[in-house]
Amino acid sequence: MRIVSFTEARNSLKAVLDAVVMSLDYYNSLMEIVHLLRSPANAEHLNRSIAQFKAGKVTQRDLIDE
């Protein structure tokens, strides 16, 4: 990933427009998703969990404060 300052972007707008522009927070979020889905076993576990949630097979629990 290449980080460009506003001044550099303004001075080389054509080159910048050939790239995807997104916030760093959004990019980091995407990279976290890629990391979680990289393992086929973990991806399958997450998909099963999402299916259980959508089917209403959930249990609410209180968090333990230590």
* CA dist., res. 28 & res. 32, Å (int): 6
* CA dist., res. 57 & res. 22, Å (int): 36
The answer to whether residue 5 is domain-embedded is yes
Give the number of domains in the chain.
1
Q: What is the pLDDT of residue 16?
A: 67
- Residues 6 or more apart whose Cβ sits within 8 Å of residue 1: 27
The answer to whether residue 51 is domain-embedded is no
Q: What is the pLDDT of residue 20?
A: 78
The answer to whether residue 64 is domain-embedded is no
Block mean pLDDT (10 aa), the chain, length 66 = 81 75 91 95 96 94 87
The answer to whether residue 48 is domain-embedded is no
Q: What is the pLDDT of residue 33?
A: 95
| Domain containing residue 23 | 1-41
Amino acid at 53: F
Q: What is the pLDDT of residue 10?
A: 81
